[in-house]
Structure 1
């Protein structure tokens, strides 16, 4: 009988649920961009995405991989039972996270977004999140290469928390949209930005309680 703990799948399941709506929305957007690229109709809804279709497609694929595969990286039992899989998947997660951050920064800087959907606060927050994700993943990679596993885990938790911002944004925005209508302008900026803030605070709490 193995003495290794059995995976509970509760943590990965919760993270996958958090990723569900953003990943599904990304898949719909990806199909839309591909359809337009193949001669489909450009609409007011998708026109801004067609100004940078390559970045949009790369961002959707990379972010989906980062959130879905990353969900299985933080369960201690899975790491202990499947160490080789953890290392292989970890490389994919790290590369996906870097691509997610880079394409996010590229789109934020180069894509025209209407003022009602992004003001100065949200613009600055997106730039800051992208830079912080890159730094967190870079520090995490450096740490694991030097055998500093605790430091590696802490910085990957921080990176993953920022990468999961879209999932928390759904949780925050949906009740507001259902009760008061879709938020716009500065109110939308505050709600969207607060999701990253909440995730960052939660990540620090997990790290300080020595999450396995």
Structure 2
């Protein structure tokens, strides 16, 4: 269950994030897609804590990739508070940071020993 939720929300966030970066900001479409993106990112980050960290465990089944999940949750919270307070530039920077965290996590799944990399026959 956690893996399926993580997989679907991660891919949704990856695609929506790219669209949000390219489309005009501040529109109703941006707000609606942005809210969906934040929910997808949060679900992806939270669900990752039930998945193994693969190589380099830090504590139990948690690995370095879980630090990115924490980063994403913090970035999302700061970005949402920023936009609610009208701090558009701060919101923009933190949202880009959250998206870069997602990109980093995706790249991390391709590391040697990770389940995705093994399934793809990379390592």
TM range (shorter): 0.7 to 0.9
Q: Distance in 2 between matches of 1:184 and 1:164?
A: 19
Gapped regions of structure 2 (runs ≥ 5): 118-123
RMSD of equivalent CA atoms: 2.6
Partner SS state of residue 100, structure 1: helix
Partner SS state of residue 165, structure 1: helix
The 4+ residue runs of structure 1 with deviation greater than 3 A are 121-124, 166-170
Q: Distance in 2 between matches of 1:166 and 1:139?
A: 19
Which residue in 2 is equivalent to 1:79? Answer: 24
Give runs of aligned pairs for residues 77-156 of structure 1, distance below 5 A.
78-80=23-25, 83-108=27-52, 117-120=54-57, 123-156=62-95
Q: Distance in 2 between matches of 1:164 and 1:138?
A: 18
Which residue in 2 is equivalent to 1:61? Answer: 8
Which residue in 2 is equivalent to 1:5? Answer: none
Which residue in 2 is equivalent to 1:12? Answer: none
Q: Distance in 2 between matches of 1:130 and 1:184?
A: 19
Partner SS state of residue 120, structure 1: coil
Partner SS state of residue 107, structure 1: coil
Question: Normalising by the residue count of structure 1, what TM-score does the alignment of the two structures yield?
Answer: 0.47
Which structure would you say has the larger Rg? 1
Which residue in 2 is equivalent to 1:197? Answer: none
Question: Normalising by the residue count of structure 2, what TM-score does the alignment of the two structures yield?
Answer: 0.78
Gapped regions of structure 1 (runs ≥ 5): 1-53, 174-182, 189-212
CA contact (8 A) 1:105 1:126 kept: no
Deviation per CA, 1:76-106: give whole Å up to 9, x if none.
xx215x8111111000000000001000122
Q: Distance in 2 between matches of 1:70 and 1:156?
A: 9
Partner SS state of residue 147, structure 1: coil
Q: Distance in 2 between matches of 1:149 and 1:159?
A: 15
Number of matched residues? 113
The Cα shift of 1:119 comes to 2.4
